């Protein structure tokens, strides 16, 4: 058992209002430099829709993630040999046009133009070439709130796989928001795709980072990541990606996207997992088993054996306590209401989503008289087809989605009976039985999802600086320490850094 800690996030989609505050604060923190204008480490997509970059879920094209073939787990885009062969031209990589050409406006013209009959205008100007763009045809969130409607929606790869016809009439259609950051996967395919070894997963907190000094710009990470969340900076010619705001999380603060989330949809916490189990879990044959296999990798932070072993492997008490109080552990592992995005990519993503319950079934008109038997089939009649959610969050397994929606419905009914009343207690308990949750769990869940405060939503132990075990050595170290033997008394019989 090799215990590692992972800082992880849950997003409760019911509460996302699609305001893009997360994207904007992230951008102004991390990607407001030349070369990064088109990058959104955090973006919010309207679904159904093609997403950003366009059709990123189309793995026949981008060949991201892993595939299980002939009893072996391998990169879909090909292993090291085929990568070296393709190093001069990567056939699967997207280009700027798959994202969008960033532009600004020629504001100066508003001030400097000569007096004329017509008002001066600020024309759009490309931030790549500096030329005027006469007619911008795509941009970040061009398709926000289903803009483009029936022309744009069918570009969604999930829609293309959906059996049933998606109604595009205003009264019948559906819509949801999907905020996306880097998944900081347990089995990251970007890391495995990097020929230079510049991408790595941090031992301490599982954050996946790009070493800017070692990156050589080979670009295989861009499409090797099935979520297309590694970007190419055309100015520095190096890869950049979401870094989970590690300077903030190390100080115990939430990421900037979470901190500024208006709907408070985001939760951050630590989970413990067994790194030895990851490869095996990513190699189960049926993609629909991947979700369960991933859950099997996580360790119970209350188990005395796990605690003892974690302490032995150098995970300190603060982090074990953090794993016990973790909102992510509760939602994803204990109550199982948060699901991984596209588990079929076999990367074991670590950003979890609570599927949206609303807009609630439109044929439930008289909720006071509705019995349990009425709620359960209603889940299948919801506006957002269960099949669509399943193709996003459970590799197409609708049963997983139904279970989560049932739990959320049970919570809704239970809380309604407390606050408003008028619900038959017998039916209510039948619904709770069906959802498989105790009253305590349901009430705990309602609190966490509804009214949890800052320190309940974000349980982030600080970076383990005391693990940088040379601190007192470094205080008295001389500047040529790697060349000369340490000065003064030798207090370290061991090799440093071991």
Partner 1 sequence: MEGIFWWVIFPYLTLAIMIIGSIYRFAYGQLSWVAPSTEFFEKKWLKIGSPLFHYGLLFAIIGHIMGVFIPIEFYHWMGVSDHLYHIGAIYGGGLAGLMVVVGAIILLIRKMTIDRVRVHATFADFFSVISLIIVAGIGVYMTLVYNLTVVEYEYRLTIGPWFRSLFTFNPQYELMLGVPFIFKLHVITGFALFASVPFTKLVHFYSVPVHYLGRSPQQYRSRVGYKRRGLE
Q: How far is the CB of 428 from partner 1 (least distance, A)?
A: 47
CB of 173 to partner 1, least distance (A): 35
The end-to-end CA distance of the chain, in Å, is 19
What are the φ/ψ torsions at residue 70 (nearest 5 degrees)? 50, 45
CB 347 within 8 A of CB 126: no
- Reading the block at residue 92, the tokens are 């699967």
Phi, psi (deg, nearest 5) at residue 268: -125, 135
Measured CA to CA, the distance from residue 39 to residue 99 in angstroms comes to 8
Nearer to partner 1, 30 or 231 (CB): 231
> Strands, E, within 344-464: which ranges?
351-354
How far, in Å, CA of 284 to CA of 216, rounded? 34
We find the least distance from the C-beta atom of residue 316 to partner 1, in angstroms, to be 14
Q: Which is nearer to partner 1, 73 or 166 (CB)?
A: 73
Nearer to partner 1, 248 or 430 (CB): 248
In the complex with partner 1, the residue whose CB is nearer, 197 or 476, is 197
For residue 359, the SS3 value is coil
Closer of 369 and 469 to partner 1 (Cβ):
469
Least distance to partner 1 from the beta carbon of 290, Å?
A: 17
Helix (H, G, I), strand (E, B) or coil at 389: helix
Judged by beta carbon, residue 188 or residue 301, the one nearer partner 1 is 188
Least separation in angstroms between residue 128's CB and partner 1 is 5
Q: Shortest gap between Cβ of 469 and partner 1 (angstroms)?
A: 7
Closer to partner 1 by Cβ: residue 167 or 251: 251
Could you give the 3-state DSSP secondary structure of residue 43?
strand
Residues at the interface with partner 1 (CB under 8 A): 75, 80-81, 83-84, 87-91, 93, 95-96, 128-131, 187-188, 191-192, 194-197, 199-204, 212-219, 232, 234-238, 275, 463, 467-470, 496-498
Q: Please state the closest distance from residue 214 (CB atom) to partner 1, in A.
A: 7
272 or 405: CB nearest partner 1: 272
Cα–Cα distance measured from residue 199 to residue 181, given in angstroms and rounded to the nearest whole number: 17
Query: How far apart are CB 139 and partner 1 at their closest, in Å?
Result: 17
**At its nearest, how many Å lie between partner 1 and the CB of residue 43?**
18
Q: Report whether 402 contacts 378 (CB < 8 A).
A: no
DSSP-derived secondary structure letter, 333: I
- Least Å from the CB of residue 306 to partner 1: 20
Q: Which residue, among 438, 393, 157, 436, has the nearest Cα to 288 in the 3D structure?
A: 393
C-beta of 188 vs 356, nearer to partner 1:
188
User: Nearer Cβ to partner 1, position 175 or 275?
Assistant: 275
- Closest contact distance (angstroms) between CB of 197 and partner 1 is 6
Helices (H), 283-371: 290-297, 304-312, 317-324, 327-328
Judge contact between 355 and 339, C-beta under 8 A: yes
Judged by beta carbon, residue 272 or residue 354, the one nearer partner 1 is: 272
How far apart are alpha carbons 229 and 221 in whole angstroms? 9
* 87/109 Cα distance (integer angstroms): 44
Residue 332 DSSP one-character state:
I
- Closest by CA to 463, choosing from 124, 70, 7, 3, is 7
CB of 395 to partner 1, least distance (A): 22
Pairing of the two strands 72-75 and 66-69: antiparallel
Q: Is 20 exposed, middle or buried (0-12, 13-18, 19+ CB in 10 A)?
A: buried
Which structure tokens are listed for 208? Answer: 């996946």
H/E element, 417: helix 398-419
Q: Of the two residues 174 and 200, which places its CB atom closer to partner 1 in the complex?
A: 200
Residue found by looking up tokens 């794993």 in the block: 323
Quick one: which H or E segment has residue 61? helix 59-62
Phi first, then psi: give them for residue 380, nearest 5 degrees: -80, -10
């Amino acid at each position: 058992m090799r215990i590692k800690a992972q800082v992880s996030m849950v997003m409760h989609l019911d509460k996302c209002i699609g305001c893009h505050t997360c994207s904007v604060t992230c951008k102004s923190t991390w990607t407001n430099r030349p070369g990064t204008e088109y990058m959104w480490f955090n973006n919010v997509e309207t679904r159904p829709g093609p997403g950003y970059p366009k059709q990123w879920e189309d793995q026949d094209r981008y060949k991201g993630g892993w595939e299980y073939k002939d009893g072996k787990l391998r990169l879909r885009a090909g292993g090291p040999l085929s990568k070296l062969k393709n190093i001069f031209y990567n056939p699967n990589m997207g280009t700027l046009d798959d994202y969008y050409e960033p532009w600004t406006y020629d504001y100066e013209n508003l001030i400097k133009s000569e007096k004329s009959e017509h008002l001066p205008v600020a024309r759009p100007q490309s931030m790549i070439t500096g030329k005027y763009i006469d007619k911008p045809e795509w941009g970040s969130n061009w398709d926000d709130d289903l803009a483009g409607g029936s022309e744009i929606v069918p570009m969604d790869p999930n829609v293309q796989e959906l059996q049933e016809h998606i109604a595009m009439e205003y009264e019948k259609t559906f819509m949801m928001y999907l905020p996306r950051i880097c998944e900081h996967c347990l089995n990251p395919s970007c890391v495995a795709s990097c020929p230079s070894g510049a991408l790595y997963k941090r031992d301490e907190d599982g954050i996946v980072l790009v070493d800017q000094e070692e990156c050589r710009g080979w670009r295989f990470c861009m499409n090797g990541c099935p979520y297309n969340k590694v970007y190419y900076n055309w100015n520095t010619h190096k890869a950049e990606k979401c870094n989970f705001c590690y300077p903030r999380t190390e100080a115990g603060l939430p990421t900037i996207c979470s901190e500024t989330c208006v709907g408070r949809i985001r939760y951050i916490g630590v989970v413990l997992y067994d790194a030895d189990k990851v490869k095996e879990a990513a190699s189960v044959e049926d993609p629909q088993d991947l979700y369960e296999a991933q859950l099997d990798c996580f360790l119970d932070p209350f188990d005395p054996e796990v605690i003892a072993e974690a302490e032995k492997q150098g995970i300190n008490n603060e982090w074990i306590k953090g794993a016990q109080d973790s909102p992510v552990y509760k939602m994803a592992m204990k109550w199982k209401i948060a699901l991984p995005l596209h588990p079929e990519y076999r990367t074991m993503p670590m950003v979890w989503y609570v599927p949206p319950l609303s807009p609630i079934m439109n044929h439930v008109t008289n909720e006071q008289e509705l019995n349990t038997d009425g709620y359960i089939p209603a889940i299948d009649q919801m506006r957002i087809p269960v099949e669509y959610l399943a193709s996003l969050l459970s590799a197409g397994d609708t049963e997983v989605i139904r279970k989560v929606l049932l739990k959320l419905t049970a919570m809704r009914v239970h809380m309604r009976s407390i606050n408003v009343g008028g619900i038959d207690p017998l039916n209510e308990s039948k619904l709770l039985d069906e959802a498989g949750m105790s009253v305590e769990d349901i009430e705990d869940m309602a609190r966490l999802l509804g009214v949890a405060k800052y320190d309940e939503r974000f349980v982030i132990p600080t970076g383990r600086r005391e693990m940088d075990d040379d601190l007192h050595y470094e205080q008295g170290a001389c500047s040529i320490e790697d060349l000369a033997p340490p000065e003064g008394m030798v207090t370290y019989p061991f090799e440093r850094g071991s």
